[in-house]
Structure 1
Amino acid sequence: MSTPVMSGTRLAGIIGTGPWPGPAYDSLTAGISRAIGDGRIPVGARLPSEREVAAATGLSRTTTTRAFAKLREQGFVLTRRGSGSVVRLPDVPGGRIDHLLTPAGANEAEIDLTCTASVAPPWLLGAYERAVTQVHAYLPGTGYYPSGLPVLKELIAERYTARGVRTDPDQILITSGAFGAVSIAVRALNEGRGRVLIESPTYPNAIATLEGAGASLIPYPLELGAQGHHWDIDAMDHIARQTRVRSAYLIPDFHNPTGALLPEEQRPELGAMLRRNAMVPIFDESLVELGLDGDPTPTPMAAFVPDSITAGSTSKIFWGGLRVGWMRIPAHRIDSMASTRLSLDLGAPVLEQLVAVELMRDHETIVGEYREKLRAARDSLAAQVRAYLPTWQVIVPSGGMALWCRLPEDRSGALAIAAREHGLGLVAGPNFAPAGGLDRWIRLPYTVSETQLDEVGPRLAAAWEDALTYTDRVPAGRARTVA
């Protein structure tokens, strides 16, 4: 497989060009190692030559040579004759993070911030009651609807059409959540052996799903600026061309975990890049309805990439327990996706699909109220973090269900462990890294109850104080969430 090669100009764009406090080689080493830990320089990338780095950063060749030697000593770089210097991560006690996040089993005293999902809304019971009165019409049949109930497919197709991409109900396949949709798509597209471009950071269960299907993951590190994370389409294009990747898993709408939103003006640009590289992307729209600042729902990326798969779900906007998701599929791929689906299961439960229909008929009211609740919770949690942890970097997202906070030190693994003693469940940053790193980041969902949310700041501050006393970096171990 091709190894992505980073140019000197690209490296300088990530770490800057100085000034370099003395000794300069220590400053350069720290800049590169921090960028690797943050995931901005991906593991497996080949760094530019020492001479090229010197020219790009304005430093001497002697300085860059000493910096590279220190990076090798610290375990961030492996240099082999003829292969250049390849980025890696130092070994840590406990080994590699397990990316498959499993359902939390928090005790009643613990505030569970491992999961971006809320409790059942008040409208749910009524939707179940109405659905039960309709299920009798389906009882004479086998109960198997591998592509989904027609009434639900029609509602979903209508929503896509209203958002700007004409969709026929036959293009909709109902699945067991968005997670099930991604699993079907990656198996059908890659047949267990393809390369998939994936953002870093990203949704941990997607990492596990793609790896479980045999895909080789090619990370694209999201850019980080003063306004938060964003996409550099040219940089993504460079990685795609070098690695000849033919598929992608992307979250352009209130990205999990960063909350970043791909701007409308960038969507045609991303679409053109994907088409130019003959890539068939899987777009995860699980959070697309959760814009919290009054902006219109984003245009589906399928409007710019006709040959793409879109995954959606009721889990984030209604309730995770429904386990009803869907795929929007190009007409020429319907048969392959349907046959792949049948190799995994025979369809979503009829009753839950009928409940989803009832909820979607009152979609605007339900989602509108939920957005108001999330907006207040987001602002409350951001204020707490700023008050109790002023050294942390908090960029408030315009949507989604969590804050993605940058710590002043690489200690999110230590923080996740320390938090348990203070009744707080957290998932450390490395769980969101397809190729490692991100120990300077922590995700903080704001989906818990108002009473619990008010206690997060004090507990988090106490846990951080404990984490700072750890003398060694501590891995996060096995995390415990579904989303």
Structure 2
Amino acid sequence: MDRYLSGPQLARLVVIDPGTRPYYRALAGRMRALILDGRLPVRVRVPAERHLAEALGVSRTTVTAAYDRLREQGYLDSRQGAGSWTALPDVGALGAENPWIASGDDGLLPMHCAAPHATSALPAAIAHAGEHYPRYALGMGYDPTGIAPLREAIAARYTARGLATRPEQILVTTGAQHALHLLVMTLLSPGDPMMVESPTYPHILDAARLRGARIVPVGVPSGGWHLDLLTSAMRQSAARLAYVIPDFQNPTGHLMDDATRAGLVGAARDCGTTLVVDETWSELAIDEVPPIAPLAAFDTDSRVISVGSASKLWWGGLRIGWIRTTAAMVRRLAAFRSAVEIASPLLEQLVVARLFEDIEETRAERRRTFGASRDALAAALERRMPDWSFAVPKGGGSLWIRLEGASATALADAAACHGVRLAPGAWFGLDGTLEGRLRLPFTQPPQVVTEAVERIAEARVRGPYGVRRPAGPLTRV
């Protein structure tokens, strides 16, 4: 039997100041917020327009306009003569005015962050995990290495990608950042040299500094990695650990070819260096690329440790990651983590284990949504900032942009006053380098990245001396 709300019932949930103008936008926004936070469940029939209008004491035209707005945004499904039901939209249809797009409470479009919204597979996976959750109450409720179904699923995925892997080689972590912290703290001592790419993922620099490691940067040129530069840096620094992102490198988007992978592993072997390989973006090809084996497939003496994550493929809020290494190293890392936390959350592990079953469908969805956003972002930049230069990557989640003499930090300060939070290049380098670069992610919907470019263009012209704008429609002048 269908669930439904009467006019008075919905009116009690929708509390709006009668003087608010335009009232229909406020009504639509309030109903949308109720749907998003679960107080107005999905697939509940809402009252007819005239019934809600009577309950609120407004005109039927006002409620009709609000319902129309919700239908356009995907929050209402309607059938002629049957009524309207609450719904959740495809994330690709969300626009910049969606309050859940904004970064925290500051109302800025979050173009500093490459985390995506959830894929369509997530709700079913959560429901499946909820059904299976109670049986785990028969045991301790945690496993320091991760639950068996998830470790099996991760190992099977590595095997399918050409790297034979057993479940005991997998350690489940609370996100990739947690995995990197564990590895740095376990494998390095204060003062040890650690090679990193430049630019690189900012939080690996934080982890290295926290450990007191000596950071050895090696540049990633515009065409990709130079094996001789990587080899020289490892040899000359006697790097104990080297951190690389060979799959759609963050932030450049480069994809390392097989020859460079094989050469890098061989160089690490000669230099006595352990390679930590960040594969967070490995499943996110947008264009057709040649089959490329995981970097660890070239390893012959267990010196390559791989790190993966659920957050970029499935959802930024799904804080589950993993480490692929030897079974002995898994036990060592699990023992080390117990000093801080015992295990990753059970429910999230069950969710990710279920998501692995339909991974190809999710990859196809991301190719569609990320591809549309990437192309929209590139087109908007070429139209509004033709003096900026960038290469369009075949996958990943961001463009790495050269600003040609401008200061990315100054631009970020100005953009914040116009409703956009940016990630200047200096975040991805050492000692103030990369100031002439900017990372712009395309993990948000096309409408959002296009709107962000418009606001950045305005910030370039007007500078920081304006009123900070919320994440609503920009008034162009």
Does the alignment reach a TM-score above 0.5? yes
State whether structure 2 residue 244 is matched by structure 1 residue 250: yes
State whether structure 2 residue 359 is matched by structure 1 residue 363: yes
State whether structure 2 residue 182 is matched by structure 1 residue 184: yes
Instruction: Tell me, in whole angstroms, the C-alpha distance in 1 between the residues paired with 2:212 and 2:338.
Output: 19
Q: Is the 8 A contact 1:254 1:261 kept in 2?
A: yes
Instruction: Tell me, in whole angstroms, the C-alpha distance in 2 between the residues paired with 1:409 and 1:366.
Output: 40
Q: Map residues 64-143 of structure 1 onto 2, 5 A cutoff.
A: 105-107=103-105, 109-143=107-141
Q: State the Cα distance separating 1:372 from its structure 2 match.
A: 1.3
Other-structure match for 1:418: 414
Other-structure match for 1:260: 254
Q: Is the 8 A contact 2:417 2:464 kept in 1?
A: no
Q: Is the 8 A contact 1:253 1:298 kept in 2?
A: no
Task: Mark the CA change 1:156 to 1:297 in structure 2 (over 3 Å): closer, same or farther.
Answer: farther
Q: Map residues 396-415 of structure 1 onto 2, 5 A cutoff.
A: 396-415=392-411
271, 278, 286: which one pairs with 2:272? Answer: 278
Q: Is the 8 A contact 2:418 2:455 kept in 1?
A: yes
Q: State the Cα distance separating 1:453 from its structure 2 match.
A: 2.3
Percent identity of paired positions between Structure 1 and Structure 2: 37
218, 226, 234: which one pairs with 1:232? Answer: 226
Other-structure match for 1:342: 338
Other-structure match for 1:156: 154
State whether structure 2 residue 419 is matched by structure 1 residue 427: no
3-state SS in 2 of match to 1:321: coil
- 1:175 is aligned with what amino acid? T
Unaligned runs of 5+ in 1: 1-102, 470-483
Task: Mark the CA change 1:104 to 1:338 in structure 2 (over 3 Å): closer, same or farther.
Answer: farther
Instruction: Tell me, in whole angstroms, the C-alpha distance in 2 between the residues paired with 1:347 and 1:120.
Output: 24
Q: Map residues 384-399 of structure 1 onto 2, 5 A cutoff.
A: 384-399=380-395
Other-structure match for 2:171: 173
- 1:259 is aligned with what amino acid? G
State whether structure 2 residue 451 is matched by structure 1 residue 455: yes
145, 155, 162: which one pairs with 2:143? Answer: 145
Instruction: Tell me, in whole angstroms, the C-alpha distance in 1 between the residues paired with 2:116 and 2:103.
Output: 15
Q: State the Cα distance separating 1:456 from its structure 2 match.
A: 2.2
Instruction: Tell me, in whole angstroms, the C-alpha distance in 2 between the residues paired with 1:278 and 1:233.
Output: 16
3-state SS in 2 of match to 1:217: strand
Q: State the Cα distance separating 1:426 from its structure 2 match.
A: 0.4
Deviations 1:364-398 (A, max 9, x none): 11121111110111011011111110110121011
Deviations 1:461-482 (A, max 9, x none): 122234599xxxxxxxxxxxxx
Instruction: Tell me, in whole angstroms, the C-alpha distance in 2 between the residues paired with 1:248 and 1:260.
Output: 18
Task: Mark the CA change 1:296 to 1:220 in structure 2 (over 3 Å): closer, same or farther.
Answer: same
Q: State the Cα distance separating 1:112 from its structure 2 match.
A: 1.2
Q: Is the 8 A contact 2:170 2:327 kept in 1?
A: no
323, 326, 330: which one pairs with 1:327? Answer: 323
Instruction: Tell me, in whole angstroms, the C-alpha distance in 2 between the residues paired with 1:121 and 1:331.
Output: 32
- 2:430 is aligned with what amino acid? P
For these two proteins, the number of residue pairs brought into alignment is: 363
Q: Is the 8 A contact 1:163 1:297 kept in 2?
A: no
Q: Is the 8 A contact 1:260 1:397 kept in 2?
A: yes
3-state SS in 1 of match to 2:138: coil
Other-structure match for 1:198: 196
Other-structure match for 2:210: 212
Deviations 1:278-334 (A, max 9, x none): 100110000000111122563111111332211000000001212110000123423
Q: Is the 8 A contact 1:291 1:297 kept in 2?
A: no
3-state SS in 1 of match to 2:423: coil
3-state SS in 2 of match to 1:442: strand
Instruction: Tell me, in whole angstroms, the C-alpha distance in 1 between the residues paired with 2:428 and 2:310.
Output: 23
**TM-score (ref. length: structure 2):** 0.73
- 1:258 is aligned with what amino acid? T
Deviations 1:108-130 (A, max 9, x none): 75221011011222321211111
Task: Mark the CA change 1:298 to 1:219 in structure 2 (over 3 Å): closer, same or farther.
Answer: same
Q: State the Cα distance separating 1:193 from its structure 2 match.
A: 3.9
- 1:233 is aligned with what amino acid? L
Q: State the Cα distance separating 1:154 from its structure 2 match.
A: 0.6
Other-structure match for 1:290: 284
Q: Which is bigger in relative contact order (C-alpha 8 A, separation at least 6)?
A: 1
Deviations 1:110-163 (A, max 9, x none): 221011011222321211111111011101222121000111101111111111
Q: State the Cα distance separating 1:425 from its structure 2 match.
A: 0.8
Q: Which has the larger radius of gyration?
A: 2
Q: State the Cα distance separating 1:106 from its structure 2 match.
A: 4.2
Q: State the Cα distance separating 1:340 from its structure 2 match.
A: 1.7
Unaligned runs of 5+ in 2: 1-100, 466-477
Root mean square deviation, CA, Å: 1.9
3-state SS in 1 of match to 2:252: coil
Instruction: Tell me, in whole angstroms, the C-alpha distance in 2 between the residues paired with 1:367 and 1:212.
Output: 35
Instruction: Tell me, in whole angstroms, the C-alpha distance in 1 between the residues paired with 2:292 and 2:337.
Output: 28
Q: Is the 8 A contact 2:103 2:109 kept in 1?
A: no
296, 300, 304: which one pairs with 2:298? Answer: 304
Q: Is the 8 A contact 2:150 2:352 kept in 1?
A: yes
Deviations 1:332-353 (A, max 9, x none): 4233222222223111111110
State whether structure 2 residue 412 is matched by structure 1 residue 379: no
State whether structure 2 residue 432 is matched by structure 1 residue 436: yes
- 2:128 is aligned with what amino acid? R
Instruction: Tell me, in whole angstroms, the C-alpha distance in 1 between the residues paired with 2:155 and 2:142.
Output: 21
Task: Mark the CA change 1:184 to 1:104 in structure 2 (over 3 Å): closer, same or farther.
Answer: farther
